[in-house]
Structure 1
């Protein structure tokens, strides 16, 4: 399978793909619910690791990753250090950069603050837990099963809450004591429970809507407690010169210094992409989900 070129501009380069990352965005595309319009025909996949002119690279793409070859812009293509393996590099590319910028660029977490992290055993969440701890924050993690909650604890979460609890709002409020900040990627009742658990002047960064529910937040509620809700979409940074390169370098350095651990990925052959999507949708996976691409 070869990807149609998203663009034939001089800034794009052809990459031989070794593996492609799978993300919730891919599911939203196939279901017709992605944040941006997607031209057809379309091959999913927004991140790859592979080779470019003999060099190992990772790249952020605008689709086309589930293929033996794809095109990526040089501004979103990054060399992989020799001491970083392919799957670790791939985990750091879309999900690692998302976690980094949610923690540092959007929420601007400060030492001593408390933060709520959803899906704390997932690709973004598992890294956000560690990056928040590294920033000196107290982490209240949410996860749906016992093993996932245990993984969140192992990654450094101070408190762990069952995200499927019928009393989630009360559980989060008790666990956080009024959080300074929160990440949110579900929508619906989970968004409202998380927002309610924020202290006055608390801030929330919304980076997904996995429930598929269009969620309304009352302006009066925000005003009454001085809370802030900010949206985040990683492609907004694709054209910001040097921003992603700096965060990629910082993420590689954190792994090298053993300050950041990438949980063992779930690896599927490319031909099992549909099964990978099904498992992600059913919340059966933890950490990064990878498609191994045959040469």
Structure 2
């Protein structure tokens, strides 16, 4: 594999990995497909080539490396931010693996880790959503958008979501969005989207914008905020935001802009297990819903990447290797 578009992805065999000290050998049940995988594949994020893509999956432990004591063979585990996850068998550091509770099924366990933890750190830590807040969630029918909407609603916020189709509007409303804006109907997104947001907020603007779209929504996101509001730019589905003059933030209302990434919000095992526990508990209690919008055979990873990048997907996209319980 070399940097490039989805066509550079090749399905093939490599030697079976062996767990070293402190590692687990896991039989993968499903691997998550995320935009960060496309950034690494295309070379936007620096990566060594060739490599096995993927940074999120769940499966069953089949062997332990020396010194692993808190996880047993046969347990189901999930992980995020661990490379080489598009595979049938992979090695995972035990410190980065989370044991999946028995009351969480395989599909939910596969669909929730990365996007659920992302929604958690955004709503709980990046801009802690408070009761009475009004927030704007871009791509509200996407995997993170749906979970973030549900989590924010559970914390007492009013959610305005943006989507591009009627079907996605229905999904966003199902997740609890109070208002949904169809930005596909705008001729001038930078002007018309903030106008629509301010019409819904009595001219005030929103307390926070959660923007995983990037280039095409960035200016509209800034213009939709109240004074001293927060823009959390957590992705770039439409492309990277160009260099920005920070002096502009004064005239826009002394705004805050942050570019978070999940690795800094699961910096140690305690933080990882705390966030994962709260996500799984929220799913078990019905606050969060694990939605799978696409289930692809592992050999069709290139198709999954194309569908994700062209915005043909909703909710979570999963790759299923041969022999997985989810492949039948």
Q: TM-score, normalised by structure 2?
A: 0.84
Give, in whole Å, the separation in 2 of the partners of 1:110 and 1:222.
Answer: 23
2:269 alignment partner, SS class:
coil
Relative to 1, partners in 2 of residues 1:134 and 1:142: Cα closer, same or farther, differing over 3 Å? same
Post-superposition CA distance 1:112-149 (Å, at most 9, x none): 01111111111111100000101111101011111001
Moved more, 259-268 or 126-135: 259-268
Give, in whole Å, the separation in 1 of the partners of 2:200 and 2:294.
Answer: 30
Give, in whole Å, the separation in 1 of the partners of 2:286 and 2:209.
Answer: 25
Relative to 1, partners in 2 of residues 1:6 and 1:158: Cα closer, same or farther, differing over 3 Å? farther
2:197 to 172, 197, 200: 172
1:20–1:90: 8 Å Cα contact kept in structure 2? yes
Query: RMSD of the alignment, in Å?
Result: 2.0
Larger radius of gyration: 2
Give, in whole Å, the separation in 2 of the partners of 1:7 and 1:226.
Answer: 52
2:247 alignment partner, SS class:
helix
Q: Tell me the residue number matched to 1:143.
A: 163
1:266 alignment partner, SS class:
strand
Give, in whole Å, the separation in 2 of the partners of 1:6 and 1:243.
Answer: 28
Give, in whole Å, the separation in 2 of the partners of 1:70 and 1:237.
Answer: 24
Q: Tell me the residue number matched to 1:278.
A: 306
Relative to 1, partners in 2 of residues 1:4 and 1:102: Cα closer, same or farther, differing over 3 Å? farther
Q: Tell me the residue number matched to 1:254.
A: 282
Alignment of 1:132-281 (within 5 A): 132-164=152-184, 165-166=186-187, 167-176=192-201, 177-224=204-251, 225-281=253-309
Moved more, 85-94 or 123-132: 85-94
2:16–2:89: 8 Å Cα contact kept in structure 1? no
Give, in whole Å, the separation in 2 of the partners of 1:198 and 1:5.
Answer: 51
Moved more, 245-254 or 168-177: 168-177
The answer for unaligned runs of 5 or more in structure 1 is none
The answer for unaligned runs of 5 or more in structure 2 is 1-11, 62-72, 324-328
1:77 to 97, 105, 109: 97
1:121 to 118, 135, 141: 141
